[in-house]
Chains A and B, each alone.
Chain A
Amino acid sequence: AQSVTQLDSHVSVSEGTPVLLRCNYSSSYSPSLFWYVQHPNKGLQLLLKYTSAATLVKGINGFEAEFKKSETSFHLTKPSAHMSDAAEYFCVVSDPGNTPLVFGKGTRLSVIA
Chain B
Amino acid sequence: KAGVTQTPRYLIKTRGQQVTLSCSPISGHRSVSWYQQTPGQGLQFLFEYFSETQRNKGNFPGRFSGRQFSNSRSEMNVSTLELGDSALYLCASSLDGGQDTQYFGPGTRLTVL
Interface presence of A34 (CB below 8 A): yes
A100: B residues at CB distance < 8 A: 33, 45, 48, 56, 58
Q: Is the CB of B90 within 8 A of A99?
A: no
Interface presence of A46 (CB below 8 A): yes
The B interface, classified by DSSP as helix, strand, loop or mixed, is strand
Count of A-B contacts with CB under 8 A?
52
Minimum CB–CB distance from A84 to chain B (whole Å) comes to 18
Closest chain A residue to B94, Cβ basis: A101
Interface presence of B55 (CB below 8 A): yes
Q: Is the CB of A96 within 8 A of B98?
A: yes
Q: Is the CB of A94 within 8 A of B4?
A: no
Stretch from B14-22, B65-73, B100-108 forming part of the interface with A? B100-108
A35-60 CB mask vs B (1 if < 8 Å, else 0) is: 01000011111100101000000000
Q: Is the CB of A101 within 8 A of B33?
A: yes
Interface presence of A63 (CB below 8 A): no
The A interface, classified by DSSP as helix, strand, loop or mixed, is loop
Could you tell me which B residues sit within 8 Å of A by CB distance?
4, 33, 35, 42-43, 45, 48, 50, 55-56, 58, 90, 92, 97-99, 101-107, 109
Closest chain B residue to A103, Cβ basis: B43
Please, how many angstroms separate the alpha-carbon atoms of A32 and B98 in the complex? Answer: 10
Q: Is the CB of B99 within 8 A of A103?
A: no
**27 A-B Cβ contacts within 8 A?**
A36-B104, A41-B109, A42-B107, A43-B4, A43-B104, A43-B106, A43-B107, A44-B90, A46-B101, A46-B102, A46-B103, A51-B99, A90-B43, A94-B98, A94-B99, A95-B99, A97-B98, A98-B50, A99-B98, A100-B45, A100-B48, A101-B33, A101-B102, A103-B42, A103-B43, A104-B42, A105-B42
A81-108 CB mask vs B (1 if < 8 Å, else 0) is: 0000000001000111111111111100
